Amino acid sequence: MAIQHSKNLKLDNKRRITLGKIAPKEVTSYDVKIENNGVIILYPKVEIPAEELWLFHNKEAKASVKRGLDDAANNRYGNIEEEFWNDLED
């Protein structure tokens, strides 16, 4: 794995470092692994709302969402009949 960024972070007087300036905005927490030689490895995590957790436990629904995202990314759209939109307004 190639290193994309390298930065020297200084400990404050309470022996803390701040990741705010280098952490991706979508990352909300980190799992931490401390190697025997003192190397600290941070694994970024993204939390999801509890109401969306069902999707990650429903393989069929998750696969359907992935297919839909893949279709959209590859400009594969279906035609929706005009009556569909009219029925939504009722």
33: which strand partners? 41
pLDDT band at 89; cut points 50, 70, 90:
low
Q: What is the pLDDT of residue 76?
A: 87
Instruction: Convert 45-67 to b/e letters by CB count within 10 Å (16 or more is b).
Output: eeeeeeeeeeeeeeeeeeeeeee
| Neighbour-count burial of 27, counting CB atoms closer than 10 A to its CB (0-12 exposed, 13-18 middle, 19+ buried) | middle
Alpha-carbon torsion angle 2, 22, 42, 55, nearest 10: -100
Asked if pLDDT for residue 85 goes beyond 70, the answer is yes
pLDDT digits (tens, 9 = 90+) for 13-29: 999 999 988 889 899 99
Q: What is the pLDDT of residue 1?
A: 54
pLDDT digits (tens, 9 = 90+) for 27-75: 999 999 999 999 999 999 998 889 999 998 999 999 999 999 999 999 8
34: which strand partners? 40
The residue type found at 66 is K
